[in-house]
Structure 1
């Protein structure tokens, strides 16, 4: 190969092609229940749709998306993942909507034999509130992560949450038995 005459401006490194690594974007889908919770089920479906929509640009930009499906089934798992609200989607360790809202989730409330309410995430997008993550919000968040330089790895202490919310903690704690439950005393 001919090298340019100004060798100070350009350096050529002889490396095997196998050493080239694709950039990876990590998507974490954290949820309490994808069997009964309409919000978790709907958000999972919206995430799948969003991933299908962005798929054509992944090869062009040489980016791989890795999705981690994280069923948070115990208080210990909620603490380990610092789940503040369900469902949650994090891209490269960052919640795509860290200033979340919650309200009563009828389908989760139906899991409980008592009258206590169970709150799940309420998504905001373009001035409206949604009980499941809007596909447009997910496509936008994924696109930003794909075209932006990848931030350094985020550990649990750097996350934008204050740990497990009182609502998630109540979902797992039964003050009478210390068993995992919906948090009520039924």
Structure 2
């Protein structure tokens, strides 16, 4: 390719390339779209499921941030620790941890198993279950990175169909969360 070629551009990388292949061409699309990702958990300091979920989620966002920028979508991330039974009802928490994108739960079915680290946060080590993650035929105690990348990428590509919603508060919590909050060693409240 030479400078006389109509498809050639001189870009920041100091080479002559077609615009579609230039790695430094400004392809970012201006947009005011936002994808809000929220991790809700009953504990982010000791739970052996919530902590790795947060780490994997941050890694997935790090991987996909350049894609979001190219698509003109702002990625927003928030971690919310749910401290009380009332807070859990208000936030419509069905299981911990929960990941929501624009207010939508990313996993519709709740599957749980014993979480010894959360059980140790209750009086008398009452058995507490935390969310399991089902991906490609296997069950995981925290979501694998490829699963999170797929979920977020799908949301980025379908952002126009994923309008922000607010969860309707729950009248009753699932029994597992009721047990946790009623027996928590560290009863806290937000505010």
Change (3 A) 1:74 1:166: same
Write out per-residue CA displacement over residues 79-127 of structure 1, whole angstroms, 9 at most, x where no aligned residue: 1101010000011111111102011001112223524211100110000
Q: CA RMSD in A?
A: 2.2
Encode CA deviations 1:122-179: one digit per residue, 9 max, x unaligned. Answer: 110000010111111111110011111243331223x9x88632111211125xxxxx
For residues 43 and 76 of structure 1, the distance between their equivalents in structure 2, rounded to whole angstroms, comes to 24
User: Aligned to 2:178, which of 144, 159, 169?
Assistant: 169
Deviations 1:46-90 (A, max 9, x none): 101111111221111001111121110111110110101000001
Q: Residue in 1 aligned with 2:16? A: none
Partners of 1:111 and 1:58 in 2: CA distance? 38
**2:58 equivalent in structure 1:** 48
Q: Which residue does 2:12 correspond to in 1?
A: none
Counterpart residue number, 2:41 = 31
Report matched runs for 1:1-186 at 5 Å: 21-148=31-158, 149-157=160-168, 164-174=173-183, 181=185
Distance 1:163 1:153, change over 3 A: farther
Residues 182 and 122 from structure 1, CA distance in 2 versus in 1: closer, same or farther, beyond 3 angstroms? farther
Aligned pairs, how many?
157
Q: Does structure 2 conserve the Cα–Cα contact (< 8 Å) formed by 1:171 and 1:182?
A: no
The answer for unaligned runs of 5 or more in structure 2 is 1-29
Instruction: List runs of 5+ in structure 1 lacking aligned partners.
Output: 1-19, 175-179
The answer on whether the counterparts of 1:171 and 1:181 sit within 8 Å (CA) in structure 2 is: no
SS of 2:78's equivalent in the other structure is: strand
Contact 1:24/1:64, CA 8 A, preserved across alignment:
yes
Matched residue of 1:64: which SS?
A: strand
